[in-house]
Amino acid sequence: MERFLGKIILAGLAILLIPSTSFSAPYSRAYVAMASSDSIKVIDTRTFKVVDTLPGGRNPHGVMGSPDGRYLYLPSMYGGTEFLTVVDTRARRIVSSVRVGKASHHGAVTPNGRYLFLAVSPEKEGLVVIDTKWLAEIDRIDVGEKPFYVEVSPDGRKVYVMNVGSKDLAVVDVRKRRVISRIPDAGGRGHIAVSRDGRRIYVTQGRRDRLLVIDPLKGKVLGSLKTGKIPHGVAVTPDGRKVYISNMGEGTIWVIDTASLKVLKRIRTPMGPGHLSITPDGRFVYLSLPGKGEVMVFDTKDESRVATIEVGPQPHQIIFRP
């Protein structure tokens, strides 16, 4: 009997450790980094209306958040400032500024919310590690030349860094805080999306008009797809079946089947589409349009447009929180 009960407990633990593709995190707000507006727009995801404007420091391009949505972390691109700005969403004010160096582009927070990894270049170039409890830099890792975009694996054990200068994808061990491998010819100026099960990484290479599919476990490129002109934003659905990419140079979103790497649909947008973000439940994909001052929302079931939201000049990255 004890052996039987032990097997049941172990089986239950195994189930808990398996990444869920149907998991739907609660969310009610979309936060949009508003670059030249020095602010963050807050969108109610039920009504698709702007309900608040928060201070954003100087030139916020990326936006990260604590898991509970209490704090936002805002890097400053193009040398707007050498600080990472921290905003309390409840108090609606800036509560801290962490000196990181010019210019910080994008970063990512570990799933438990404890650590933040930020790409900084060219001043004090490297991957900055910030302890979010103390809001202080605790390490700076040499990951390659001109780190540009950062994502954390779903299990929080690895960080993936896209380097523009060295043109590779660096894999960083979170616990050891060092580069453990590099995937050559997988860097450049673009974005990264990691599947919810952690088994695939999708990388846009804007200057090569290419989407890469990477197996992070084997550390190699599995395939590639010729995209539209200057692919930029990329997002993968929670079930891992579809990838969306925005082509800045031609004003389109491509919807791609991940199994076959075939284009399922091409959606026309205004020129210069930017970041793409999919809601945690997989229902909607949000697209920022920096040139138009708008955020568009599409239904992932049929790719129909359900909302166009005016937000103001230069919206960029979008995240969802409670």
pLDDT score of 9 more than 80 = no
Could you report the per-residue pLDDT of 265-294, keeping only the tens digit for each?
999 999 999 999 999 999 999 999 999 999
Owner of token pair 């920022």: 288
What pLDDT score does 14 carry? 36
Q: Compute the average pLDDT of residues 73-83.
A: 84
pLDDT score of 16 more than 50 = no
How far is 174 from 205, CA to CA, in rounded Å? 25
Contacts of 253 (CB under 8 A, 6+ apart): 244, 245, 246, 247, 266, 267, 269, 273, 276, 285, 287, 298
| Domains in the chain: boundaries | 56-189
What pLDDT score does 265 carry? 98
pLDDT band at 134 (very low <50, low <70, confident <90, very high): very high
For residue 284, give both structure tokens.
């909607």
pLDDT band at 26 (very low <50, low <70, confident <90, very high): confident
Q: Residue 97: what residue type?
A: S
Q: Compute the average pLDDT of residues 86-97.
A: 98
What pLDDT score does 25 carry? 66
- DSSP of 113-150, one letter per residue? SSEEEEEE-STT-EEEEEETTTTEEEEEE--SSSEEEE
Enter the pTM of the model.
0.91
CA distances from 89 to 52, 67, 298 (A): 10, 12, 26
CA distances from 58 to 104, 163, 201, 269 (A): 11, 24, 31, 28
pLDDT score of 4 more than 50 = no
Owner of token pair 């990444």: 19
How far is 7 from 25, CA to CA, in rounded Å? 30
Which residue did the predictor score with more confidence, 20 or 313?
313
- Name the class of domain 56-189: mainly beta
What pLDDT score does 105 carry? 83
Could you report the per-residue pLDDT of 286-316, keeping only the tens digit for each?
999 999 999 999 999 999 999 999 999 999 9
pLDDT band at 126 (very low <50, low <70, confident <90, very high): very high
pLDDT score of 30 more than 60 = yes
